[in-house]
Amino acid sequence: DSGVTQTPKHLITATGQRVTLRCSPRSGDLSVYWYQQSLDQGLQFLIQYYNGEERAKGNILERFSAQQFPDLHSELNLSSLELGDSALYFCASSKSGGGNNEQFFGPGTRLTVL
Amino acid sequence: GQNIDQPTEMTATEGAIVQINCTYQTSGFNGLFWYQQHAGEAPTFLSYNVLDGLEEKGRFSSFLSRSKGYSYLLLKELQMKDSASYLCAVKDSNYQLIWGAGTKLIIKP
């Protein structure tokens, strides 16, 4: 158990809908990262937050947005969903972003868009 | 651009040794990580190298050569449970983690 929690575990929805994925980082970690992993694909970095502020952006679509709240939990909002958005969405956390701070991953949310 | 290369898939025999290579070209270097990911599960941290040389951790070792932009993960005494994907990732000059596509390791009895 990495200490990172994600809810829900599974989500099934229809095209055009909007969903929110939630992540709680490990105690003491200030950085939160969101990743997308489609079937048999590598990890695609979406976005990073550090202590409530956006720190870095990766291949995140305009239909997707995220935020980190004062209690450090984070939410990833996915809107106007398409079939291709079906994937595993991982949240990870680390103490900061620098040096040897490894990222600890949550169990993921499996999103299925029908 | 930034690039990390790893073999897509490798096959090895239970009890044997396997070496998974990773080459990288990034803007700056602040460390290299190896993660293990079983199918459908979250990646888990294996090792971190920032200086040249070999880091040993039980059956797993990781090597780094910064001048060559090269690392390898060595797995000894392979077990069936080692069947997984192995991800190489490099922290660039902005401390952003650049991920390779992963190497799927298949262990045969």
In A, minimum Cα distance to B43 occurs at A105
Determine contact, residues B66/B29, Cβ cutoff 8 Å.
yes
pLDDT digits (tens, 9 = 90+) for A72-113: 999 999 999 999 999 999 999 999 867 678 899 999 999 999
B40 contacts A103? CB cut-off 8 A: no
Q: Which candidate from A41, A42, A103 shows the least CB-CB separation from B100?
A: A42
- Residue B96 has what pLDDT? 87
User: Is B85 within 8 Å of A43 (Cβ atoms)?
Assistant: no
Q: Which residues contact A22 (CB under 8 A, 6 or more apart)?
A: A6, A7, A73, A74, A75
Per residue of chain B (109 residues), give pLDDT as tens: 789 999 999 999 999 999 999 999 999 999 999 999 999 999 999 999 999 999 999 999 999 999 999 999 999 999 999 999 999 999 998 888 899 999 999 999 9
pLDDT of residue A2: 86
The 3-class secondary structure across B26-50, one letter per residue, is CCCCCCEEEEEECCCCCCEEEEEEC
| CB contact (8 A) between residue A2 and residue B48 | no
Residue A18 burial (CB count, 10 A): 11
Check residue A62 and give its pLDDT: 96
- Length of chain A counted residue by residue: 114
Helix/strand/coil percentages in chain A, nearest 5: 5, 50, 45
Say if CB A73 and CB A29 are below 8 A apart.
Answer: no
Q: Which of B94, B97, B98 to mutate to test the interface with A (most CBs of A within 10 A)?
A: B97
Nearest-by-Cβ selection for A56 from B33, B96, B100: B96
Q: Is the pLDDT of residue A42 over 80?
A: yes
Neighbours of B36 (CB within 10 A): 20
Q: Count residue pairs from A and B with Cβ separation < 8 A.
A: 48
Phi-psi region of B58 (alpha: psi -120 to 50; beta: other; left: phi over 0): left
pLDDT score of A26: 96
pLDDT for res B37: 96
Among residues 24-83 of chain B, which lie with CB inside 8 Å of chain A? 30-31, 33, 40-45, 48, 50
Interface test with B, best of A102, A111, A112 (most B CBs within 10 A): A102
Q: What is the pLDDT of residue A96?
A: 80
B96 phi and psi angles, rounded to 5 deg: -90, 140
Q: Look at A43 and B99 and tell me if their CB atoms are within 8 Å.
A: yes
The separation between the first and the last C-alpha atoms of chain B, rounded to the nearest angstrom, is 40
- pLDDT at residue number A1: 86
For residue B81, the SS3 value is helix
Structure tokens at A98: 């620098």
Q: Given a cut of 80, is residue A65 above it in pLDDT? A: yes
Which residues are within 8 A (CB) of A102 and not within 5 positions of it... i.e. 6 or more apart? A94, B33, B45, B48
Q: What is the mean pLDDT of residues A1-25?
A: 96
